[in-house]
Amino acid sequence: MKIEFSASQPSDVRLIARVVNQGDDLTDLDAALADGAKAARFAGRAGQVFEGFVIDDGALRRIALTGAGESNSSDRRLHVERAGAALMAKYLRSGETEMVVDLGHADLSGEEAAAVLLGLRLRAWSHEKYRTTLAKEKRITLEKVTVVGSPDGTEAAWETAAAIATGTEFTRTLVAEPANVVYPASFVAMCEDAFKGTGAELIVLDEADMEKLGMGALLGVGQGSERESRILAIRWNGGAKDEKPMVFVGKGVTFDTGGISLKPPGGMEDMKWDMGGAGAVAGGMLAVVGRKAKANVIGVVGLVENMPDGKAQRPGDVVTTMNGQTVEVINTDAEGRLVLCDALHWAQEEFAPERIVDFATLTGAMIIALGNEHGGLFSNDDSLAENLTAAGKTSGDKLWRMPIGPAYDKLIDSPIADIKNVGPRPAGSITAAQFLHRFIKKGTKWAHCDIAGMVWADKPGHSWDKGATGFGARLIDQFVKENVEK
């Protein structure tokens, strides 16, 4: 979606939209239009859209009002974003090719105006490259948004917000592409492309490198696949030289069949998005790098494909992880933790972070617990957990804290090895977190975000259509902004 700023309203655009606060009087509008809005019970509530038609100088104009809620709401930023998103949802496939958006009426700050545009841009994203026979009336028609009446500071704030949009879109693309397109090596190639010329440094480990490092858990997951496993680190040195980096780690299982503990066929296609944690980290990094954040941040993703095969690992196999602990693989479908334990250990050894946060579509049990409203948050540090929760609230990528502790930890003791990779059925998301916790060094602040319910949506949400949501990218960017940048 092209978004351009203009000092004056183009005269040849039929569709003109404006942002309206709850309770605003509409007296400067055409009287019939204002009456119509009232009759349709348009009250300027966040996400509400009203459309009316007027004849202006003999030309038909389509006038849209989009609600931004109460101007003093504590959720103001998200509400104005919703105003933009709701507009886009209505007009993206409306037949109109251009829209004028007038930001001069709702008493918006520059930041808030940019948030309207962020909503427009995010809601315009779709993944339709494989739909060659889509009916004409269902296709995207809107190509360009011309922004008028923008308050001071809008364009500067938009530079930042546009980087966030680009990062979120990258996450969505990685998540939406099928597993014959996104596999470990191609994930790396897509990142090499996306980060080209940004100043970020990319470090890639192939299977031979990982063997040397002793990553038996990660390699064990990938050994049933024709696709070679990878680890990718994306490094951004935007902060002071002596400053310890903030590290994010993502689960990148590019397809999860379950391995020999094969999943049932119904819905297995969803497991193309089992790399959603890695997608969040890659997109979050692209946002951070794109807006040249003054912080040292590193994103590490563990990339594997979990397939059943003559070479695949078996239930009962014992693997040795990079940090020396042995794992009894009870269930080859509990593979995410096997990938993450080596990725987390390597990231701690390599980059010595004070804080490390992982993102993973780790357990189906997380969806049972929290549905599709919050990601689950597990942490050994209260302030890190609070900061992540807060960043989740401001960014819209919401998290909810879950407990961990020794009583849960002992559920994954193994009779033959140091740990087993699954516990009993109850508290399945917590025992998965406990597994990861065993690979966190003493003194390192760690949080784990189980985002199994968040990366894919069956129905449209505020700023996304059904499909890939982009969850996590904005959370990472917001966390860096609030807690890492000086």
> Which are the catalytic amino acids?
263, 337
| Euclidean distance between CA atoms 9 and 4, whole angstroms | 12
Task: Restricting to residues 214-253, name those near Zn ion by CB under 5 A.
Answer: 253
Q: Taking the CB of residue 90, how many other CB atoms lie within 10 A of it?
A: 19
| Euclidean distance between CA atoms 60 and 53, whole angstroms | 7
Considering beta carbons, is residue 167 or 258 the nearer one to ligand BES?
Answer: 258
The residue whose Cβ lies closest to Zn ion is 256
Instruction: Please select the residue that binds ligand BES; options are 333, 358, 397, 465, rule is CB under 6 A.
Output: 333
Q: How far is the CB of 441 from Zn ion (least distance, A)?
A: 25
Q: What is the CA radius of gyration of the chain?
A: 24
CA dist 342 to 10, 271, 349, Å?
56, 21, 10
Q: What is the DSSP letter of 136?
A: G
Instruction: Please select the residue that binds ligand BES; options are 305, 335, 409, 465, rule is CB under 6 A.
Output: 335
Q: Which of 445, 467, 6, 420 is nearest to 246 (CA)?
A: 445
Considering beta carbons, is residue 63 or 449 the nearer one to Zn ion?
Answer: 449
Segment near ligand BES (CB under 6 A), from 81-89, 357-365, 399-407, 472-480?
357-365
| Euclidean distance between CA atoms 175 and 284, whole angstroms | 13
Are residues 389 and 482 in contact, defined by beta-carbon separation less than 8 angstroms? no
| Euclidean distance between CA atoms 83 and 72, whole angstroms | 15
Instruction: Please select the residue that binds ligand BES; options are 126, 166, 225, 361, rule is CB under 6 A.
Output: 361
Q: Taking the CB of residue 131, how many other CB atoms lie within 10 A of it?
A: 11
364 binds ligand BES (CB under 6 A): yes
Q: Which does 363 bind (CB under 5 to 8 A by kind): ligand BES, Mn ion, Zn ion, none?
A: ligand BES
Q: Which of 102, 73, 76 is nearest to 87 (CA)?
A: 102
Instruction: Please select the residue that binds ligand BES; options are 207, 274, 350, 465, rule is CB under 6 A.
Output: 274
Q: How far is the CB of 279 from ligand BES (least distance, A)?
A: 13
336 binds ligand BES (CB under 6 A): yes
Are residues 431 and 362 in contact, defined by beta-carbon separation less than 8 angstroms? no
Considering beta carbons, is residue 126 or 421 the nearer one to ligand BES?
Answer: 421
358 binds ligand BES (CB under 6 A): no
Q: How far is the CB of 312 from Zn ion (least distance, A)?
A: 15
Segment near ligand BES (CB under 6 A), from 35-43, 45-53, 182-190, 332-340?
332-340
Task: Restricting to residues 29-68, name those near ligand BES by CB under 6 A.
Answer: none
Q: What token pair was written down for 44?
A: 């300027």
Task: Restricting to residues 210-249, name those near Mn ion by CB under 5 A.
Answer: none
225: Cα within 13 Å, side-chain hemisphere: 27
Q: How far is the CB of 331 from Mn ion (least distance, A)?
A: 8
Angle between helix 276-290 and 184-194 (nearest 10): 10
Q: How far is the CB of 12 from Mn ion (least distance, A)?
A: 54
Q: Which residues pair with 54 in a beta bridge?
A: 61
Instruction: Please select the residue that binds ligand BES; options are 334, 370, 391, 430, rule is CB under 6 A.
Output: 334
| Euclidean distance between CA atoms 243 and 228, whole angstroms | 34
177 binds ligand BES (CB under 6 A): no
452 binds ligand BES (CB under 6 A): yes
Angle at 151 between CA 147 and CA 157, to 5 degrees: 80
Q: What token pair was written down for 226?
A: 């024709």
Residue 304 main-chain phi, psi, to 5 deg: -150, 160
Q: What token pair was written down for 282?
A: 């890659």
409 binds Mn ion (CB under 5 A): no
Q: How far is the CB of 376 from Zn ion (least distance, A)?
A: 15
169 binds Zn ion (CB under 5 A): no
Q: Which of 433, 463, 310, 278 is nearest to 365 (CA)?
A: 433
Considering beta carbons, is residue 324 or 364 the nearer one to Zn ion?
Answer: 364
Instruction: Please select the residue that binds ligand BES; options are 51, 81, 111, 256, rule is CB under 6 A.
Output: 256
Beta strands at 296-306 and 326-328: parallel, antiparallel or unpaired: unpaired
Task: Restricting to residues 270-289, name those near Zn ion by CB under 5 A.
Answer: 274
Q: Which residue has the tokens 């003559």?
A: 310
Are residues 303 and 230 in contact, defined by beta-carbon separation less than 8 angstroms? yes
Q: Which of 440, 232, 444 is nearest to 341 (CA)?
A: 440
x/- letters, 103..122, toward ligand BES (CB under 6 A):
--------------------
x/- letters, 332..351, toward Mn ion (CB under 5 A):
-x-x----------------
Instruction: Please select the residue that binds Zn ion; options are 24, 256, 342, 477, rule is CB under 5 A.
Output: 256
Residues binding Mn ion (CB under 5 A): 256, 333, 335
Residues binding ligand BES (CB under 6 A): 256, 274, 331, 333-336, 361-365, 422, 428, 452
Residues binding Zn ion (CB under 5 A): 253, 256, 274, 336
